[in-house]
Amino acid sequence: MIRPANLSDLDALVQLETRNFDSDHLSRRSFHYLLTRGNAILLVDEEHKQLRGYALLRFHARSPRARLYSLAIDHKHRSRGIGRALLAAAEDAARGRGAASVQLELRKDNHAAARLYEKMGYREFGTYLDYYADHMDALRMEKPLTTRLHATDQVAHAVHRAS
Q: Which among 17, 91, 105, 142 is annotated as catalytic?
A: 105
Q: Please count the other Cβ atoms lying within 10 Å of the Cβ belonging to residue 49.
A: 6
Query: How far is Cα 88 from Cα 143, in angstroms, rounded to an integer?
Result: 12
Write out the DSSP string of 97-150.
Answer: TT-SEEEEEEETT-HHHHHHHHHTT-EEEEEETT-STT---EEEEEEESS-PPP
Catalytic annotation, pick one of 54, 69, 117, 122: 117
Sheet holding 65-73, edge to edge: 2-4, 40-47, 50-59, 65-73, 101-107, 138-144, 123-128
| Residue 17: active-site member | no
Catalytic residues: 105, 117
